[in-house]
Amino acid sequence: MKRFDITVLFIGLLAISASVKAQTSSNLVNLTLTVPQTNQIYVADLDIQHIQSSGVLFSATLQSLASTPIQVKLRMTINVTLADGATYPDIADATTNPFTLEPGQVRVITNVDLSGSNPSISVESSHYNSDQVDKLKNVALAMGKAPAGVYQFMLQCFDQNNMPESEQARGSIIVTNPSRIELALPMDQGSVSTLFPHFQWMANVDTVVLSVYEKLPSQVSPEDVVSGVPYLRVTVPNSTSPAPGSFNYPPSGPGVRPLQDGRTYYWYVQTPGSASRGSGLRSDIWSFTIGSVNSPAPGGTQGGDINSVATAALKSFLTGTPYSYLVSQIGMLTGQATYDGNEISTDELIDILKNMDRSKVTSVIVH
């Protein structure tokens, strides 16, 4: 008799397990989430329903897997973890009113669709944790920029009875708030002797966008020049430390226009655009002219810039050390470099700076 009871109970557990699995696999919506590549957002942007900006913080793609029209609502939650370890779980959330998805329909919804005075999708409920937001504002930068950290968005679809209709989708914006981008090469108003210039800059970000423009005769100011169509615009993974970020003008490729001897070009580097304000941090605008072309292989050191390369490498090396104050005092490096009493080339100097542990530097003497 006891054996019979155990068998019945075991079958019951199997039935329950099969039922749960069937319910989990019956989602009627496929949900994917993308967030922009940016390193700046604003604290006010976390109030999803009342944000007035036209910038996109997230983009959710919903695809109906149902054979008949379904009513679903979208729920989103925001968690924040700052760079210093402070956490702000569920700092904001919002749930839309039900809307219809036709069989097989794909619909894209962004935060812009939920905000403003006349949103395309109305919000059923929202919560903005004012206590946590006030704490976040206390460490926010001027102009309301959100402090450095990870801002995670979690979205999921539910039916009208608040039962899940999709898996939860997650995406994060990593805010670094870069403060400055300094250009190094080609030198401003300088001349280079190659059609494939070597660009260098210093910035404490992971990714930058490099833009190059030709100066036309009718253009007077640098801003006039960079308002035109770029000769080159490329996203470049940035070198963090100790070497500057760099890029060689390519000889060919999609969207690449060849530079020409005797022409003047303007260039700048910027961070990818802020998700909510549309523009990132931008460097100064520098210019250079293509002089007598020696046509070195792309990637080689360009004529006349050897000392500039070494100077940029040294300044980058000192940045972030107790000797950062020397950066503004260092002019152009000239003369012969030596290491441990031995003469070294500029390339050897740059390699040494790249591989040296800055934490072990105890003194710096500049002659």
pLDDT tens series, the chain, 367 aa: 434 343 333 333 333 333 333 334 589 999 999 998 777 788 888 877 665 555 788 999 999 999 999 999 999 999 999 988 889 999 999 999 999 999 999 999 998 888 766 778 888 988 888 888 888 888 776 557 788 889 999 999 999 999 999 999 999 998 877 767 888 888 899 888 888 888 988 877 778 889 999 999 999 899 999 998 999 999 888 654 445 688 889 888 887 889 999 999 999 998 876 545 545 678 899 999 998 765 444 444 443 344 566 666 666 666 555 555 555 556 556 666 777 777 777 667 766 776 666 566 666 665 5
* Residue 88, phi then psi, degrees to nearest 5: -130, 80
- The one-letter code for the residue type at 354 is K
Residues of the chain with CATH 2.60.40.10: 27-175, 181-360
pLDDT of residue 329: 57
Strand 286-290 relative to strand 190-192, pairing: parallel
For residue 290, give the 3-state DSSP assignment: strand
Where b means 16+ CB within 10 Å and e means fewer, 309-321 reads bbbbbbbbbbbee
pLDDT tens column, 61-102: 999 999 999 999 999 999 999 988 889 999 999 999 999 999
pLDDT of residue 328: 56
CA–CA separation, 305 and 248 (whole Å): 14
- Beta-bridged to residue 246, according to DSSP, are 200
pLDDT of residue 180: 74
Distances in Å between the Cα of 32 and the Cα atoms of 101, 108, 109 are: 15, 10, 11
Cut 0.75: pTM above it: no
How many separate helices (H) and strands (E) can be counted in the chain? 5, 19
CA–CA separation, 197 and 298 (whole Å): 8
pLDDT of residue 281: 78
For domain 27-175, which CATH number applies: 1.10.10.60, 3.50.50.60, 3.90.950.10, 2.60.40.10?
A: 2.60.40.10
pLDDT tens column, 153-164: 999 999 999 999
pLDDT of residue 97: 93
* Residue 94, phi then psi, degrees to nearest 5: -155, 145
pLDDT of residue 6: 34
pLDDT of residue 23: 37
H or E stretch including 304?
none
pLDDT of residue 48: 72
By residue count, the chain amounts to: 367
CA–CA separation, 39 and 272 (whole Å): 7
Structure tokens at 245: 């970020």
Homologous superfamily of 181-360? Immunoglobulins (2.60.40.10)
